[in-house]
Amino acid sequence: MANPSRRIRILFVCLGNICRSPTAEVVFRAAAARAGLAHQVEIDSAGTSEWHVGNPPDYRATAHAARRGYDLRPLRARQVSAEDFARFDWIFAMDRSVLAELAALRPNGVAGHLGLFLDQAPDLGVSEVPDPYDGGPDGFEHVLDLIERGAEAFAAHLVARP
Ligand code: 4NP
């Protein structure tokens, strides 16, 4: 039987684990704390690629997040693994191509939720957090805007759960 006192484990996944998913990790950690869930959740992030493993988040993601009070500096990139599907209750992809890669990696028979993060915030009307890596500053602000909305919605969802 599942242990009801076990923390809910949540993993955010993007391509590089240096822009969107580390942003989601830190923004959702703050939203969960505001919702009174700080001790009930375990939050992590990963990338589908190995390109940036061991690196800190992109300096632009770090700078834009810092202007809103989020500290990305302690994070280091890692690549998602098959074991993550057994460990995490919720695995959230930042866009459809990441979701497709995760679906292909996912072992048979795992019970956790795999989906697009922004589907937790249907009012937004968009399902993907666009990759900001090759764009300008507006892209990083847009990533933060979307992720803040998704984080509020998902924290509210967890609070409302029976
Ligand atoms: P992320 O952004 O998936 O949000 O971390 C990217 C980071 C790096 C690359 C692409 C997207 N890259 O091509 O190295």
| Residue range 20-47, pLDDT digits in tens | 999 999 999 999 999 999 999 999 999 9
Exposed, middle or buried: residue 81 (CB in 10 Å: 0-12, 13-18, 19+)?
exposed
Identify whether the C-beta of residue 12 lies closer than 8 Å to the C-beta of residue 92. Answer: yes
Q: Is 131 a catalytic residue?
A: yes
Q: How far is the CA of 47 from the centre of ligand 1 (A)?
A: 9
The two tokens of residue 110 are 């795992």
Q: How far is the CA of 121 from the centre of ligand 1 (A)?
A: 23
In this predicted structure, the answer to whether residue 4 has a pLDDT above a threshold of 60 is: no
Q: How far is the CA of 18 from the centre of ligand 1 (A)?
A: 6
Confidence (pTM): 0.97
Ligand 1 pocket test: which of 76, 131, 140, 143 has the largest number of ligand atoms within 8 Å of its C-beta? Answer: 131
